Amino acid sequence: MNIENFKRIIQDYLQGKLTERESEQVDSWYQSITEEDINPFHDEAHRHAVKDELFKRLVPTLQAERKSAVRIQRFRWLSAAAAILLLGISSLLFLQNHQQALPSRKILAEMQLTQTVTKAGELREIFLPDGTSVFLNGNTQIRYDKINYGKSRAIFLDRGEAFFKVKRDTLHPFTIASGAVSVTVLGTSFNVNRSQASGQVTVEVKTGRVKVFAEENGEQRILTRGKAARYSLAKKYFEIFDQNPNTVNLWTQGGMLLNNVGFNALKEIIYNRYGVVLIADNLDTDKFNYSLMIPQVESLDQVLTMICTIHQIKFRREKNEIILHK
């Protein structure tokens, strides 16, 4: 690839000149080259040092121009990616030898990520090109590059919850980008929940070994069977806890597990699972907290009855809403 062309694409991205489809392809490309086996950075300190050097050399004038218009999170990714150029000819050799280089703008325009979206109340299992199974909860969205999937095995979990049974491939680690947290595995089964209501990303391991990585501060943890990590977007750290591996994917089998769940998180769970909106009528929901397991949910009414019993309240239906009241 022509280095000047590469630099031009990077600059256009940083200035927001690429189309949404082109920008998504750039994201997918960068995700594919930062896998465990081919990561160009020695460690997190090296990553930050390269980023600082990039700001000095590649885009000294762009920082003033972009201001709030440029997407902050993606800028960090591309600063590291573009810095590969500054490391010398080894970067160009890497892009050529691994055939995972940033495509030309023409190719970027022609390619797009395959997207799968479930509606609220819909459960669906899909299979990726390598045979990996992904069971999607309601109101969930994932994307991946179907054409280059065999080389990168990288997907994006944009929102929602998914249970993965990853086909083992030691030469191509499987990577999930889920906002502030990325997950890397070789072959295992685990659950990832990117909750918008709680502002947390939770990873629970059923079998095998999983690496979780916080994009913002570089914190990294290794999880094994029966271990889980919850990353708070507000607090910016991982909370490690034990989780019964037999219940990690209980929701895919028709059951439900609530583990120290507040009311807002409960609303999200009910909406995703059943497509109805939970509303509290003159109730102090800040004190509401739920921990219960239902091996096999017979109906939404069964769940609501158990919830109301906990707080000695009632519920009623109004179209697509469930109102909790005294």
Per-residue pLDDT of the chain (326 residues; tens, 9 = 90+): 555 666 677 667 666 666 766 666 666 565 554 444 444 455 555 555 555 555 454 444 444 444 444 444 455 555 545 544 444 434 343 334 433 434 444 444 444 789 999 999 999 999 999 999 999 999 999 999 988 898 889 999 999 999 999 999 988 999 999 999 999 998 899 999 999 988 999 999 999 999 999 988 899 999 999 999 999 999 999 999 999 999 999 999 999 999 888 999 999 999 999 999 999 999 989 888 888 899 999 999 999 999 899 888 999 999 899 999 99
Structural domain count, the chain: 3
Q: Which amino acid is at 237?
A: Y
Rounded to a whole number of angstroms, the CA Rg of the chain reads 22
Q: Are residues 234 and 178 in the same domain?
A: yes
Name the 3-class secondary structure at 237.
strand
Domain containing 190 — which CATH number? 2.60.120.1440
Q: How many residues are there in the chain?
A: 326
- Cα–Cα distances (Å) from 251 to 12, 70, 298, in that order, read 43, 38, 13
A 10 A CB-CB count for 12 gives 15
Do 239 and 260 lie in a common domain?
no
Indicate the residue type of 161. Answer: E
Last residue within a domain, chosen from 93, 110, 127: 110
Are residues 66 and 121 both part of a single domain?
A: no
What is the pLDDT, as a whole number, of residue 138? 97
Assess whether 99 and 126 both reside in one domain.
no
Q: Quick one: pLDDT at residue 187?
A: 87
Residues 169 and 214 in one domain: yes
Boundary-marking domain end, from 212, 247, 282: 247
Q: Are residues 134 and 235 in the same domain?
A: yes
CB 158 within 8 A of CB 114: no
Q: Are residues 129 and 215 in the same domain?
A: yes
Q: Which domain holds residue 85?
A: 3-110
Identify the pLDDT of residue 113: 86
Residues 131 and 232 in one domain: yes
Q: Is residue 293 located within the same domain as residue 281?
A: yes
* Per-residue tokens: 137: 């909860």
The per-residue pLDDT for 16 is: 62
110, 125, 155: which is the final residue of a domain? Answer: 110
Task: Give the predicted TM-score (pTM) of the model.
Answer: 0.67
Q: Which two tokens stand for residue 123?
A: 């459960």
Do 99 and 131 reside in the same domain of the chain? no
Clarify whether residues 232 and 188 are in a common domain: yes
CATH code for the domain in which residue 299 is found: 3.55.50.30
Per DSSP, helices labelled H in the chain are: 3-14, 20-33, 44-57, 62-66, 72-86, 89-98, 105-110, 149-152, 263-274, 300-311
Task: For residues 78 and 156, state if they share a domain.
Answer: no
